[in-house]
Amino acid sequence: MTEHLPALQVVVPMLAAPVCVLLRRTQAVKVFAVLVAWSTLAIAGTLLATVLDSGTISYKMGGWAAPAGIEYRVTIANAYILVLVTSVASVVLPFGLGSAGSSVPQDRKYLLFAAFLLCISGLLGITITGDAFNVFVFLEVTSLSSYALVSMGHGRRALMAAYSYLILGTIGGTFILLGVGLMYQMTGTLNVVDLSERLPEVMASRTMIVAFGFMMVGLFIKLAVFPLHQWLPNAYTYAPSTVSAFLAATATKVSYYVLARVVFTIFGAAYVFGELGLDRILIPLSLAAMFGGSVAAIYQTNVKRLLAYSSIAQIGYMTLGLSFNSLDGLTGGLVHLFNHAMMKGGLFLVVACVTYRLNSSMVDDWRGLGRRMPITMAAFVVGGLSLIGVPTTVGFVSKWYLVSAAVQQDKLVVAGAILLSSLLAVVYVWKIIETVYFKAPPEGGDPVAEAPMSMLIPTWILIGATIYFGLHTALTAGVASKAAALLLSGVP
């Protein structure tokens, strides 16, 4: 049984999705989906422990050996991402017991859970597979289910948000497919290990530059790297809050892992940074994302949209870490990936708690909430401090790694930019804190009570994690630096 865990990791949620549709009864589906999410977390945890203990696992799908068959390859790097995705899913899905997608009529909620499980399955598949074409297939499984999830938001603007997400996402996916095709044309293989062995021979050809270009543009769209982030603000704003929490915490993170794998494992750092000079493009783009995203966030009047723009800025920090091409830099990127998932997931759940009671995510309507929903708003403050990067929160840990990576390479301007953009985060977080704590609640509004326990507990698990991992860095930073060392070594 244990030797089949890599396959079960993906197959369990995928098979559970149609079961949800067959079950139909909302309560039964909810309990079932939560159990499935928890079981995927257990599988991911076991895989991470096994990998830390005894090294990379190579699983032959259906008993067919690579390169002819599809290989599932579990390394420290992707086991870390698997644990992240499944733990966020395990926290966010029970939250759904109280409210997930209440904009969806009760009798159709089972469809939301089915799409949710498919999305989880796709994300895990992208992460675990060792086959380039398989990455594309799972990427589309994830994307298609997330278009459906976004379109379940309340109001007609969710539909347009899902539509433009679909158009951009499909263009991105097709570019990746084209890149994979060009790599196959030159090497005759789709297996990642095989590709990394055979590509150096054909590296000099122009086809490889084209392949790399298509892969990068496709992944940048999926990852929402500035200036290809257009789909993200609307999708996160109009999707149901729980869906925003899940997508913000996982979808872009998995794309980041694929990017790191393409850059370091398949093409190799020497080619990407030495010959093509990706850092000369990616560092300015990351800085633009950090400043552009943060400045745009300051001017938002809607908390969800504010958090979405802040996500674009945070993705800038991650890609910046990758473009340093150093151990500290990539560790910073991978740690920030985990940390941002915790804080942004937690913050979106706070929004979900508030909209459940208040029915609005406009900053103006949040006046005086600090006294009416003290526990929820305390969670917002902690999450906000973590976004800024205050010591003892996780945000500090990842920014510490990024700044020291910049200083190591004598990029003092970049180090200064990281600190300066953190100050912009102070502005947009303060804007909400001020409204919540220092403004009188609107006159004549309905009295607003604290969110129910079933929502507060998941929110505080994620927010509490931002403090816990801020103090105990060995778990995240330790594993992340091992993962970064593995990726940088170029060993698949």
Partner 1 sequence: MTGLLGLWHYWMIIALMMVGLYIVIARDNLVKKIMGLNIFQTSVILFYVALAKVEGGTAPIIPEGAEHVVYSNPLPHVLMLTAIVVGVATTALGLALCVRIQEAYGSNEEDEIVRMDVEGLARRGDRAESAPHADDVPPEEVPA
**Interface ranges with partner 1 (CB under 8 A):** 99, 101-103, 105-106, 133, 136-137, 140, 144, 147-148, 151, 153-160, 162-163, 166-167, 170-171, 173-174, 177-178, 181, 184-185, 237-242, 301-302, 304-305, 352, 355-356, 359-362, 364-365
Number of alpha carbons in the 13 Å side-chain half-sphere of residue 176: 26
Return left, alpha or beta for 443; rule: phi > 0 is left, psi -120 to 50 is alpha, else beta. beta
Query: CB of 158: closest distance to partner 1 in angstroms?
Result: 6
Give, rounded to a whole angstrom, the gap between the first and last alpha carbons of the chain: 25
Residues paired with residue 131 on neighbouring β-strands, in sequence order? 191
Give the whole-angstrom CA distance, residue 61 versus residue 129. 10
Contact 212, 179 (CB under 8 A): yes
To the nearest 10 degrees (0 to 180), the angle between helices 76-98 and 26-54 is 160
Q: What angle do CA 105, 110, 114 make, to 5 degrees?
A: 130
| Residue 284, CA distances (Å) to 155, 226, 291 in order | 37, 10, 11
Closer Cβ to partner 1, 103 or 408, answer by number: 103
Contacts of 135 (CB under 8 A, 6+ apart): 126, 129, 176, 180, 258
Query: CB of 356: closest distance to partner 1 in angstroms?
Result: 4
Query: CB of 458: closest distance to partner 1 in angstroms?
Result: 13
Query: CB of 469: closest distance to partner 1 in angstroms?
Result: 27
Contact 351, 360 (CB under 8 A): no
Closer Cβ to partner 1, 103 or 404, answer by number: 103
Query: CB of 72: closest distance to partner 1 in angstroms?
Result: 17
Give the whole-angstrom CA distance, residue 296 versus residue 160. 21
Query: CB of 133: closest distance to partner 1 in angstroms?
Result: 6
Q: Which SS3 state, helix, strand or coil, does residue 419 take?
A: helix
Closer Cβ to partner 1, 222 or 411, answer by number: 222
Query: CB of 446: closest distance to partner 1 in angstroms?
Result: 12
Closer Cβ to partner 1, 177 or 414, answer by number: 177
Contact 254, 341 (CB under 8 A): no
Largest CA distance in the chain: 73
Residue 295, Cβ density class (10 Å: 0-12 exposed, 13-18 middle, ≥19 buried) = middle
Query: CB of 411: closest distance to partner 1 in angstroms?
Result: 36
| Residue 146, CA distances (Å) to 154, 349, 378 in order | 15, 18, 30
Query: CB of 330: closest distance to partner 1 in angstroms?
Result: 31
Closer Cβ to partner 1, 68 or 471, answer by number: 68
Closer Cβ to partner 1, 189 or 255, answer by number: 189
DSSP alpha helices (H): ranges in 58-191? 76-98, 109-128, 132-151, 157-187
Closer Cβ to partner 1, 51 or 168, answer by number: 168
Query: CB of 479: closest distance to partner 1 in angstroms?
Result: 33
Contact 305, 357 (CB under 8 A): no
Closer Cβ to partner 1, 141 or 259, answer by number: 141
Closer Cβ to partner 1, 359 or 392, answer by number: 359
Radius of gyration of the chain, Cα coordinates, nearest whole angstrom: 21
Task: Give the total residue count for the chain.
Answer: 492
Query: CB of 97: closest distance to partner 1 in angstroms?
Result: 12
Closer Cβ to partner 1, 99 or 339, answer by number: 99
Closer Cβ to partner 1, 75 or 143, answer by number: 143
Closer Cβ to partner 1, 214 or 267, answer by number: 214
Q: What angle do CA 224, 226, 228 make, to 5 degrees?
A: 55
Structure tokens at 451: 């969110």
Query: CB of 443: closest distance to partner 1 in angstroms?
Result: 16
